[in-house]
Amino acid sequence: MQQDNVIKLERHGPVTMLNIQGDITSFSEPFLNDAYKDANDQGAQKILLKFDKDAYINSGGIAVLIQILANTKRNNQQISITGLSDHFKKIFHMVGITKFAKIYDTVENALEVLSA
Amino acid sequence: MTHKYIFFMISRLFCLRCQFNPQEIFGLREQKGKREIFRMLKDHTIELSLPSVIGYERIAMGCLASFAQSVGFKQERIEDLKTAVAEACINAVQHGNKDSPDARVNVTMEFKDDAFNIAVMDKGDGIPELPTDPNIEKIIDDQEPATGFGLFLIKKLVDQVKFNEMTNQGHVVRMIFQQRV
């Protein structure tokens, strides 16, 4: 039942967007870590995580994402999130992710604010 | 594909024991409307026996979502149900059955009195010490491990939860969801 993620790095001005396809679970750890490492190696300062609207995110995936947040804090990077369903916006707020990453409703809105 | 057929396929493929015939229930829905369904589903129960493997919690999520939709739960509440039952199943696989491939995770879903009573059973000895709620600031600063989110979400999303109910068949996590939004 393991599913691979496909993560594409996209540069939008000062923003490096990780376009993440697939569900976010503990199996996502190597894919997310590799994508983050690539972004970091490219000197990314503003990182935007874009999820599929219908992605399934479980506690294992949340733990992986929080490790990414920890890395961005250590590296003085700004991290933001978009593409979440209303349910997972609520879940991310519950676990405290919104204390460290701003959530935007749309990619366009995120890029506009982060590029200003 | 309608929920009727999704539910039917899930039932045929994965429900090893059903105490009712889902075809009859959904047939009634089409002929007489939603209020009739409520009467028919009361006191009925669905039981799933899942492989103790991460990923199969999605079967429980899909089945529960179909069941909840058929009795009129709003989508927001269905998403809460799905997340809570998924986390209970994941906990049963990893901590209850300790990733044993021969074990099973049994999920019982009962809709009664406008609420779901969901039991997730594994072969473990229960949760000896319930973890404190995860503190994201401490996790980010590497002062505590990034664990405990599953039980935290269950507690946040359900109306009532009881851990460590021991039966002669195993350890049960029991959750109650009211229909309100």
In A, which residues are within 8 Å of B141 by CB distance?
A: 70
φ, ψ of residue B45 in degrees (nearest 5) = -135, 145
At B146-159, the pLDDT tens digits run 999 999 999 999 99
Cβ-defined contact of A63 to B146 (cutoff 8 Å): yes
- Count H helices and E strands in chain B, helices first: 7, 6
CB within 8 Å: B54 and A26: yes
Mean pLDDT across B71-97: 96
pLDDT of residue B113: 85
* The residue type at A109: N
Residue B20's pLDDT band, with cuts at 50, 70 and 90, is: very low
State the pLDDT confidence band at B3, using cuts at 50, 70 and 90: low
Q: What is the mean pLDDT of residues A52-57?
A: 94
Closest-CA distance of chain A to residue B9, Å: 18
Listing DSSP states for B54-66 in one string gives TTTHHHHHHHHHH
Q: State the pLDDT confidence band at B138, using cuts at 50, 70 and 90.
A: very high
B136–A96 C-beta distance less than 8 A? yes
> In what side-by-side order are the strands of the sheet with A78-82?
A6-12, A15-21, A46-50, A78-82, A102-104
Q: What are phi and psi of B43, to 5 degrees?
A: 65, 15
Whether the predicted pLDDT of A88 surpasses 60: yes
Give the closest of A63, A91, A100 to B147, CB-based: A63
pLDDT of B7 reads 55
Task: Tell me phi and psi for residue B79, to 5 degrees.
Answer: -65, -40
Give the pLDDT of residue B179: 86
Contact B136 A86 (CB under 8 A): no
Rounded to 10 degrees, the C-alpha dihedral B26/B28/B31/B33 comes to: -80
ipTM above threshold 0.90: yes
Average pLDDT, chain B: 83
Query: In angstroms, what separates the C-alpha of A89 from chain B's closest C-alpha?
Result: 12
Give the residue-averaged pLDDT of B37-66: 83
Query: Can you tell me the distance from the alpha carbon of B82 to that of B99, in angstroms, rounded to the nearest whole number?
Result: 21
Q: Measured between CB atoms, which of A1, A95, A100 is closest to B53?
A: A1
Answer with the residue of higher pLDDT: B112 or B20.
B112
Query: To the nearest 10°, the Cα dihedral for B155, A105, B73, B45?
Result: -50
The H or E element containing residue A12 is strand A6-12
- Whether residues A87 and B86 touch (CB distance < 8 A) is answered with no
Contact B152 A95 (CB under 8 A): yes
Q: How far apart are CA B75 and CA A63, in angstroms?
A: 26
Q: Which H or E run includes B177?
A: strand B170-178
Q: How many CB atoms lie within 10 A of CB B128?
A: 8
Q: What is the pTM of this model?
A: 0.85
Buried b / exposed e across B24-59, counting CB within 10 Å, b at 16+?
ebbeebeeeeeeebeebbeebbbbbebbbebbbbbb
CA of A92, closest CA in chain B: separation in Å? 10
CA–CA distances in Å: residue A108 to residues A13, A25, B33, B75: 13, 26, 42, 26
Using DSSP's 3-state secondary structure scheme, residue B49 falls into strand
